[in-house]
Chains A and B, each alone.
Chain A
Amino acid sequence: MEDYPAPENSPGRRAAANWFIDGLPEIVTGLEFAMLGGMASWLLHQPLRFERLLAAGVLFLLILLVNGGGRNITEFFKARVTYPRTGYVQPPMHAEESQRSEPVVSLAHLPNENVTDFRRRTVTVFFFGWILPGAINPPWGLPVAMSATALALYLLNRHSERPYRWWYTFLLPAAGLLWMSLDSRQGEGDLARQFRVFVIAGLWLSAQGAWTLYGYLRRNPRPPAEEGLHA
């Protein structure tokens, strides 16, 4: 599945994995998706023109946030939580923006490995999952979409810097089935059902990030000094 010959334990790959050490990227991205889905669902229920317009504006801002602004928010929290505890390393570039295919010309000129596939292999998968409920007849659209999303997340990220545990991805189809029962009671339209993928996937990602953060804070209590350089 690897599209570049990166050693699993090189300094660059460790730096990329370090970005996810505290769960903050997942929390921020997950909340963005949950808000995006929730906001879009709310927008679809608004009868008044002004409220729809307002909601559409907020929705647009959230889409921008999901596309790039989330990293700044993550860094804001990392500067206060992570860097004083386990140090700062340059955040990884997005895989699609880096030049991984540079030829290796010497021992000291290696391709950039401080890159992350998070946007390509997690965020994009959520967007594909969003399409499915509209393509499959209700009430099975949501459970099928969540199952496909879970499978894709697990398989695509198995060897990435941020792999998912199989049992944790199992929660996604379970949540889809649970929501399907609610769906049949409320009888909502196709588009509203599609946006539930974002809500479920976003909450799932945030919960995972929160659990990682809890473990990280337990393992790394805050040091007394604010800053680490003694050189």
Chain B
Amino acid sequence: MNERIQEVSQLDRLVHEPARLKILLILQAVGEADFLYLQRDGEFTQGNLSTHLNKLEGAGYVEIEKKFKGKVPLTVCRLTAAGERALLAYSRQMLVILQPNGNSANPPQKKPRASQT
């Protein structure tokens, strides 16, 4: 079997699921956010988001912390170091899989524009 095809079966399924990937990417981009913001930004239903957050927290990819802003309680989600690593590993795997030549050592480079003379 082709090496690239084999790589597909080694993808982290916890990250590969679109809703969870969306959560991880949002948290990575924003730093930290609460449930309500994630629900609005990711266009999740309440139940859907709860389920996926529980799975990500169980895997140690996301941490959920109760904190206070003044006297107002907030429950904040953020990416853990393990989550960051999982996302990075996943993106590297995807780059390898989706490359036309399948060469993992050299990620695709932008070719210089040909002169139009």
Residues in B with CB closer than 8 Å to A11 are 25-26, 29-30, 41
Contact (Cβ within 8 A) B29 A114: yes
The total of interchain contacts (Cβ-Cβ below 8 angstroms) comes to 109
Contact (Cβ within 8 A) A108 B57: no
Residues in A with CB closer than 8 Å to B37 are 18, 86-89
Q: Which applies to chain A's interface (DSSP): helix, strand, loop or mixed? A: loop
| B73: contacting residue among A10, A108, A226, CB under 8 A | A226
Contact (Cβ within 8 A) B34 A79: no
Assess A229 versus B41: contact at CB under 8 Å? Given A107-B94, A113-B29.
no
Residues in B with CB closer than 8 Å to A86 are 36-37, 40
Classify chain A's interface size. Answer: 20 to 34
Bound-state Cα–Cα, A75 to B69, Å:
8
Contact (Cβ within 8 A) A228 B87: no
Bound-state Cα–Cα, A6 to B46, Å:
30
A15 at the B interface (CB under 8 A): yes
Bound-state Cα–Cα, A202 to B26, Å:
34
Bound-state Cα–Cα, A63 to B8, Å:
57
Contact (Cβ within 8 A) A106 B35: no
Bound-state Cα–Cα, A84 to B35, Å:
11
Q: Which residue of A lies closest to B85 (CB)?
A: A108
Q: Which residue of A lies closest to B49 (CB)?
A: A231
Bound-state Cα–Cα, A80 to B95, Å:
44
Contact (Cβ within 8 A) B41 A230: no
Q: Which residue of B lies closest to A111 (CB)?
A: B29
Per-residue A-contact encoding for B19-62, CB less than 8 Å = 1, 0 else: 00000011011111111111111000010011001100100000
A110 at the B interface (CB under 8 A): yes
A49 at the B interface (CB under 8 A): no
Residues in A with CB closer than 8 Å to B73 are 226-227
B91 at the A interface (CB under 8 A): yes
Number of interface residues of B (CB under 8 A): 40
Q: Which residue of A lies closest to B36 (CB)?
A: A87
From residue B41, how far is it (CB to closest CB) to chain A in Å? 6
Residues in A with CB closer than 8 Å to B87 are 108
Bound-state Cα–Cα, A114 to B64, Å:
20
Bound-state Cα–Cα, A106 to B90, Å:
10
Residues in A with CB closer than 8 Å to B35 are 87, 228-231
Bound-state Cα–Cα, A108 to B29, Å:
9
A218 at the B interface (CB under 8 A): no
B13 at the A interface (CB under 8 A): no
The 9 lowest CB-CB distance pairs between A and B, nearest first, are A87-B37, A87-B36, A229-B75, A90-B31, A107-B91, A228-B36, A108-B91, A79-B69, A11-B29
Given contacts A86-B37, A226-B73, A227-B74, 13 further A-B contacts (CB under 8 A): A15-B33, A76-B70, A80-B72, A83-B36, A84-B72, A86-B40, A88-B69, A88-B74, A89-B32, A107-B91, A114-B30, A231-B50, A231-B54
Chain B interface (Cβ within 8 Å of chain A)?
A: 25-26, 28-41, 46, 49-50, 53-54, 57, 64, 69-70, 72-77, 84, 87-88, 90-92, 94-95, 107
